[in-house]
Structures are given as C-alpha cells and as structure tokens.
Chain A
Amino acid sequence: AQTVTQSQPEMSVQEAETVTLSCTYDTSESDYYLFWYKQPPSRQMILVIRQEAYKQQNATENRFSVNFQKAAKSFSLKISDSQLGDAAMYFCAYERRNYQLIWGAGTKLIIKP
C-alpha cells in the first residue's frame, strides 16, 4: 500500500532564512503525482507546488522548490527567504491515477521573527 511519511512534526526557522521539509513515500508505481499543500491558521488548504513523477526537473514556484529523488522516493520542499506568512501546516501528498490522494501527517512550520 502506498504511504506518505513526513518525519518532522514541527520545524522552526528564522525569518529570511531557508528551511527544508522532508517527505518520503512508498509506491511501486512509476507514474504518479506529488504535491505540497499549505494550511495556514485559517485552515484553508492551498496548493504550494506540484510535481509529475515522469518529469526529472524539480518543480519551482517563486520561493518554493522541491528536491524530487524518484529512486529514493523522496520529495522535500525548500522554502527560501522565509516570511512570517509562510507559517502553516505543510502536507505532502501522493496521487495515483485512481484519484486517491494519500496524505502525510503534516509538518508545522514556525517562523521566528
């Protein structure tokens, strides 16, 4: 069965610095999608970044980038120049073609001013 593991329940970073959130997953599939979602205190879930497994190039979205290591089944999120508004729960998720998203337990990111 597919699983998604976020090993860091909580991370903290100084404002303007860089932080990396880890995510590993288990699958026997070769074609799938990976996502990072952000849930701020408002509880609104917001897509941060999306990666297609068949693309070797790491996805980037402004200050957010991923390190996708397909062989290692690793999908970490790097946030550069951290801002106070980045404080949130971050969820890693995996999706196969059967529409089922598998979610990690989340990492709480704290930004220190």
Chain B
Amino acid sequence: SQTIHQWPATLVQPVGSPLSLECTVEGTSNPNLYWYRQAAGRGLQLLFYSVGIGQISSEVPQNLSASRPQDRQFILSSKKLLLSDSGFYLCAWSPTVGEKLFFGSGTQLSVL
C-alpha cells in the first residue's frame, strides 16, 4: 500500500535561517506531489506542485522553493526564513488530477 512520510513534525527556526522539509512517498510511481501551507484556522494554500522529476510549478511567489530530485521525493526549501513563513506545511500526493489527495501528517514551522 501507499504511504507518505513527512518530517519533521515540528520545527522552530530563527529568522534568516535556512529551511529544508522533506516528503517521500512509498508504494507508487510517478505521483503528482504537492506542498501546501495552512495558516492557523484557515484553508490550504497551494505552494508548489510537481507532475514529474525536475518539474515544479509555483503557485505563490515567495522566498520558498521546491525540488523533486527523485520520483517520490519532494523537498521544500528556503535560503532565509521570514517571520511570515510560519505555518503548518502539508505534503500530499495523488495518482493523477481529479483523484484523491493523500496527505502527510504535516510540519508545524515556527519562525522566531
């Protein structure tokens, strides 16, 4: 069966520090991969999505970037974190468009 792993669960980082959040999927090949951010008490904001290795689409201009170095690995990065980067980050995958999204357990990022 398919599983999605996202880590770390919580992260506290100082302003200006780098960021690397990793997400891996098991049990499937060529998944669509997504990074979302959820502000407290709000809905989900799509940050990046990828339909294949090296193919990244950005939905929101910001100081974050994403990479997909392997088929089932999706990484969210930043060179210098801002206070406004704080939030709950969710990784997700789906077999194809229109199909169910499977979410990771999320990372709570606090930038201080």
Residue of B nearest to A33 (CB): B98
Contact B51 A99 (CB under 8 A): yes
Q: How many of chain A's residues touch chain B, expressed as a range?
A: 20 to 34
The contact of A106 among B42, B92, B106, by CB within 8 Å, is B42
Residue of B nearest to A91 (CB): B43
Contact B105 A44 (CB under 8 A): yes
Q: Would you call B32 an interface residue if the criterion is a C-beta within 8 Å of the partner chain's C-beta atoms?
A: yes
Chain A residue contacts of B100, Cβ below 8 A: 35, 47, 50
Taking the closest CB of chain A, its distance from the CB of B12, in whole angstroms, is: 17
**In the complex with contacts A44-B103, A44-B105, A45-B92, A105-B42 CB distance below 8 A:** yes
Q: Would you call B53 an interface residue if the criterion is a C-beta within 8 Å of the partner chain's C-beta atoms?
A: no
Taking the closest CB of chain A, its distance from the CB of B70, in whole angstroms, is: 20
Q: How far is the CA of A50 from the CA of B97 in the complex (A)?
A: 12
Q: Mark A48-83, 1 if CB is under 8 A from B, else 0.
A: 001010000000000000000000000000000000
Contact A99 B97 (CB under 8 A): yes
Chain B residue contacts of A104, Cβ below 8 A: 43
Given A46-B103, A99-B32, A99-B97, 6 other A-B contacts at CB below 8 A? Answer: A33-B98, A43-B105, A97-B98, A100-B49, A103-B43, A106-B41
16 CB-based A-B contacts, threshold 8 Å: A33-B98, A43-B105, A43-B106, A44-B103, A44-B105, A45-B90, A91-B43, A91-B44, A96-B97, A97-B97, A97-B98, A100-B46, A101-B46, A101-B101, A105-B42, A106-B41
A-to-B contact residues, CB < 8 Å: 33, 35, 37, 43-47, 50, 52, 91, 93, 95-101, 103-106
